Structure 1
Amino acid sequence: MSLATNHEGAVRPEDLSRYFIERANVGDIEGLVALYEPGAVLVTGAGRKAIGHRAIRQFYEELLANRPTFAPGEQLPAVRNGELALTSTRIPNGATAEVARRQPDGTWLWVIDQPHILG
């Protein structure tokens, strides 16, 4: 499958969740990695973390190997404070919580991603 290499940036922090669903469902691993700052932290479960693009890429390669399908949850409005935003989505059996940061070009990227809380 041919995937775009020029990924659209998130104009609003809430866009990151939508881009995640779109990119994960077509197996666009580079597109998923592009949602994160280079030194971002992704909680991968049971207290484990993927830190940085290389580790995040490896995590998504393993996660998407069996081609799971992701459904959008209920995106909640971001809570912003200057260049930071807390994003969250209600999903079946829980919620997600992420911290995004506005980049110099005005787009947003995740700095911290906790995909499963309250579950």
Structure 2
Amino acid sequence: MHDDRLRRHEAATAPEDLGRMFVERANAGDVAGLVALYEADAVLALPTGQATGTQQIRQAYEHLLADKPTFTPGEQQPALVNGDLALTSTRLTDGAVTVEVARRQPDGTWLWAVDQPNILG
């Protein structure tokens, strides 16, 4: 789950950190940094299906960032935490909402296990 990729990037010490880190890394064009926000076997919803695991998530973000889009931070909602799981969500400026499941890692940091980046939009 947790590997050396995070040694190059700030680690999320709270589940709510992941949303902020996503925007920072996406705007920097940091594909490796985005992939480092996910567990190795995480699932990312895509408009055409889903990406599962590090390689597919990396490919999805390489494609997404190819045109150098700009991401605007949304309104981070308080995480709903139950033990080592947390439901995270951000209301975006266009009215869409993100919904993710984060899991506490053995070292106490958080990574996303499931990511539905855009619903209700």
TM-score computed with the length of structure 2 as normaliser: 0.92
Q: Please list, as runs of the form range in 1=range in 2, the aligned pairs for 1:1-119 lying within 5 A after superposition.
A: 6-46=8-48, 48-91=49-92, 92-119=94-121
Structure 1 CA distance for aligned equivalents of residues 112 and 86 of structure 2: 9
Range with greater deviation from structure 2 (91-100 or 76-85): 91-100
Range with greater deviation from structure 2 (5-14 or 95-104): 5-14
Unaligned runs of 5+ in 1: none
Q: Shift of residue 45 of structure 1?
A: 1.1
Q: Shift of residue 93 of structure 1?
A: 2.7
Structure 2 CA distance for aligned equivalents of residues 75 and 45 of structure 1: 22
Amino acid across the alignment from 1:12: A
- Paired positions, count: 114
Q: Percent identity between the aligned chains?
A: 64
Structure 1 CA distance for aligned equivalents of residues 101 and 18 of structure 2: 11
Structure 2 CA distance for aligned equivalents of residues 27 and 36 of structure 1: 17
Unaligned runs of 5+ in 2: 1-6
- Higher percent of residues as strand: 1
Q: Shift of residue 94 of structure 1?
A: 1.3
SS of match in other structure, 1:77:
coil
Q: Shift of residue 118 of structure 1?
A: 1.2
